[in-house]
A and B are shown apart, each in its own frame.
Chain A
Amino acid sequence: KQEVTQIPAALSVPEGENLVLNCSFTDSAIYNLQWFRQDPGKGLTSLLLIQSSQREQTSGRLNASLDKSSGRSTLYIAASQPGDSATYLCAADGYNKLIFGAGTRLAVHP
C-alpha cells in the first residue's frame, strides 16, 4: 500500500529565502509524481508533474526533482515571496490513483 510522507509539516520563513520541501513514498512503482498548491478553503492548483521516466521539472521559480529508486521527491522554491504562502501537497500516481501526502504549510513573511 502506497504511503506518502511530507516533511516538514510546517515552515515559516522570511521573504527571499530559498526553500526545499520534501516528499517520500514507499512504493516506487509510480506513474508520475505531482506537486500541488492549496490555499485555505480552496481547491488544488497543479504546480508540477514529473513522469516516472523524468528526473525533474521546472516552472518559473519552482523546481521539482524525482528519485524513484529512493522514493523521494523535492520541491525547490527560489526567492520565496509572501504570495507563496499556502499548503503544498505532493501526490504519487499509482496508475490513475493519486495518494496524497499530508502537506507542508508554508508561511512566507515580509
Chain B
Amino acid sequence: GAVVSQHPSWVICKSGTSVKIECRSLDFQATTMFWYRQFPKQSLMLMATSNEGSKATYEQGVEKDKFLINHASLTLSTLTVTSAHPEDSSFYICSAGSSSYNEQFFGPGTRLTVL
C-alpha cells in the first residue's frame, strides 16, 4: 500500500522560532500533497493543497506567509511554521495523492508545541 511518513513526529520550540515539518511519500509519486491541522478534540481542517512544482493553494483564513509550503519533488513536501506562537501549537497531518489512486494517504502527524 501507499505509505506516507512525517518528520519529526513531535517538536517543541520557543515562541518566535521557525519549525519545518517534512512529509514524504515512500513508495509512490505524489503529484498532490495536503496539509491539515487538528486542534485538541477537534477535527482535521485543511490548510493548503500543493502540487509538485507549483505554488500551494491556501484555504481561507490560513496565512500563506506564516505557513510556508514547498513541494519541490514528487516525494517530498515541507511545511514551515514561521515565527511560531503558542496558538500555533497543534497536530499537523499531511496527506498525499496521485492520479494512480482515488484517495489520499495520510502521514502519522507531527505534534507541535510552542512555548
A interface with B by C-beta (< 8 Å): 31-32, 34, 36, 41-44, 46, 49, 51, 89, 91, 93, 96-103
- The secondary structure that dominates the B interface is strand
Contact B106 A46, beta carbon cutoff 8 Å: yes
Contact B44 A89, beta carbon cutoff 8 Å: yes
Among the stretches B11-19, B63-71, B78-86, B107-115, the one at the interface with A is: B107-115
Q: Is B77 an interface residue (CB 8 A)?
A: no
**Complex Cα–Cα for A97 and B107 (A):** 16
CB distance from A86 to the nearest CB of B (A): 14
**Complex Cα–Cα for A32 and B93 (A):** 20
Please tell me which one of the listed residues A46, A96, A102 contacts residue B42 in the complex, with CB atoms under 8 A apart.
Answer: A102
Q: Is B102 an interface residue (CB 8 A)?
A: yes
Contact A103 B93, beta carbon cutoff 8 Å: no
Q: Is B100 an interface residue (CB 8 A)?
A: no
- The secondary structure that dominates the A interface is strand
Q: Is B27 an interface residue (CB 8 A)?
A: no
CB distance from A16 to the nearest CB of B (A): 28
Among residues 82 to 106 in chain B, which have CB atoms less than 8 Å away from a CB atom of chain A?
91, 93, 95, 97, 102-106
Chain B residues with CB below 8 A from A100, complex form: 43-45
B interface with A by C-beta (< 8 Å): 6, 32, 34, 42-46, 49, 91, 93, 95, 97, 102-109, 111
Chain B residues with CB below 8 A from A31, complex form: 102
Task: Report 29 cross-chain contacts, Cβ distance below 8 Å, ordered by A residue.
Answer: A32-B102, A32-B103, A34-B103, A36-B106, A41-B91, A42-B108, A42-B109, A43-B93, A43-B108, A43-B109, A44-B93, A46-B103, A46-B105, A46-B106, A49-B103, A51-B102, A89-B43, A89-B44, A91-B44, A96-B49, A96-B104, A97-B46, A97-B49, A98-B46, A98-B95, A100-B43, A100-B45, A101-B43, A102-B43
